A = this chain, B = another copy of it.
Amino acid sequence: MARQQARRKLVSNELLEHAARLFAAQGYANTSFQDIADSMGISRPALYHYVSNKEEILAALVQDVLERVVEILQEESAREDLAEDERVVAAFRRIVVNNARNTTRFRLLDRSEPDLPAEIAAMHQQARRTVLALLTRMIEQAVEAGRFRPLPARTVALALLGMANWVAWWYRADVDADPGEVADVLVEVALSGVRRGADRTVEPGPWAALMLLKEDVAHLETALSSALDTDAP
């Protein structure tokens, strides 16, 4: 019985992988149940043994992709051994690597959005909101701890997600560096930017000094509102 379940799971994984590749390549609407069976080298009746329709496969794929990202964010945000900024970095790094390793599924997810049945579409939207909310909160905490600059956390979260998600659209294992190396570069850009000497010993002159001041006033505002547990007036 256990062996039969294990085998079922194995075939399901293979099925998802084959279906994802077909959906991504030719579109969900253009892919038939027969195409999926053909690509796996099995008969249509044999495929029905595992899933009853195309929608069921798509639902499983959609759930799979974002659930992994939510998991990463939950795990890293709970790490007591890391400072607030390090948690963001660790999560961001893992998401980039995850996306580079699952390009087909991510592309599929984006492409099949118009084809998603209402229930699955709602689930997908909810997962996207969860990802954004978790990452935004982690960034806010790093700002409150004085480790990130006081930039608008939601926009910063979307900037990081953009860098990470885009990886699924360009990364090719046969051309690009190892996912870990790609992640290192993206972490560098996200953390320190591309500008040389991007530390805080900035240009001389009063205008640069004023910029520093404005940044710290914003920082004081964040610190005060979290200390007093109220929003800025």
| Residues of chain A at the chain B interface (Cβ within 8 Å) | 24-27, 29-30, 85, 88, 110-111, 113-115, 139, 142, 144-149, 151-152, 155-156, 158-167, 169-170, 177, 182, 185-186, 188-210, 212-213, 216-217, 219-220, 222-224, 226-227, 230, 232-233
Contacts and interface: CB of A to CB of B under 8 A. Distances in A.
23 contacts: A27-B29, A29-B29, A88-B194, A110-B110, A111-B111, A111-B114, A146-B201, A146-B208, A146-B209, A151-B194, A152-B177, A155-B177, A156-B189, A159-B186, A162-B167, A165-B166, A166-B166, A189-B193, A192-B193, A199-B200, A209-B223, A212-B216, A213-B217
Contacts of A113: 111
A114 B27 contact: yes
A142 B185 CA distance: 17
A216 B156 CA distance: 25
B114 A26 contact: yes
Contact of A206 (B29, B170, B186, B227): B227
A155 B186 contact: yes
A192 B182 contact: no
B199 A223 contact: no
A146 B211 CA distance: 12
A200 B161 CA distance: 26
Given A27-B114, A110-B110, A110-B111, A146 B204 contact: yes
Contacts of A27: 27, 29, 114-115
Contacts of A192: 149, 192-193, 195, 198
A106 to B, nearest CB: 11
A160 B166 CA distance: 10
